[in-house]
Amino acid sequence: MSWLFQNLLVEPLYNALVFLVDILPGGDAGLAIVALTLVVKVILYPLSKKAIRTQVRMKEIEPKLREIKEKYKNDKQKQATATVALYKETGINPFSSFALIALQIPIILALYKIFVSSHLPEINTAILYSFVAVPNHISTMFLGILDITSKSLVLAVLAGVTQFFQARYSIPAMSPKKDGAVASFGDDFSRSMNMQMRYFFPIITFLITWSISGAVAVYWTTSNIFAIVQEILVRKKVKRSQEIKSQEIKK
């Protein structure tokens, strides 16, 4: 498994990073990390787009899911059957997000391994492909200002802030509990996870990127910004298509 991870992910991504350093102006390793992150995000775009669409549609059917939950609160089997039937009727696959996560995790781990152990500006020629040239000049000063090989408070703060906004767009706040309503363990757990992802995880992101290096912070910030823009554009497109459909129905 480690051999596959090294040969199918780490080495190709490392060679891509070195190639980008070689062709980008000034051999800016920070810009190369930004470019590599964007390339990976573009490749994963079809899956992430599908996941966002699923999230939007899941939000739309929330009232119906609550009705099912209330109607069959004493019969978990019927509740599950009715829920699956609703997903089938609306064409929603609630597990589409898990496929994206499962695919992203090894890629993220590979990128982290590269950024943490690459020891830029040194190049590991032992894993460099024959057609990838060793850059004549490598600058670890991102945009000539911030050293990505060491800790950077500025970049760590950017990673934390962008993580906050990324979570805000991708994980909408849950509906408030109704007065007098008794929340189930599942509801309480969901609310707890929602709060942690929206407010606690950005702090964790800051601490992680601050403790490792500026290279990881550059990757994380770029990834978050791409995700925010993608989230806004896809949601606008979904909303626009829904408005067109509703207008056609009225006609």
In this prediction, residue 189 carries a pLDDT of: 47
Domain segments of the chain: what residues? 2-250
pTM, two decimal places: 0.77
Q: Map residue 144 onto helix, strand or coil.
A: coil
In this prediction, residue 190 carries a pLDDT of: 56
Residue 218's H or E segment, with its range, is helix 214-250
**Each residue of 44-56: pLDDT tens digit?**
888 777 777 777 7
User: Which pair of structure tokens corresponds to residue 223?
Assistant: 């990834």
Q: How many helices (H) and strands (E) does the chain have?
A: 10, 2
Q: Residue 167 and residue 202: Cα distance in Å, rounded?
A: 8
Neighbours of 229 (CB within 10 A): 12
In this prediction, residue 191 carries a pLDDT of: 54
Q: What is the mean pLDDT of the chain?
A: 80
**Each residue of 107-141: pLDDT tens digit?**
878 887 887 776 778 888 888 898 998 898 899 89
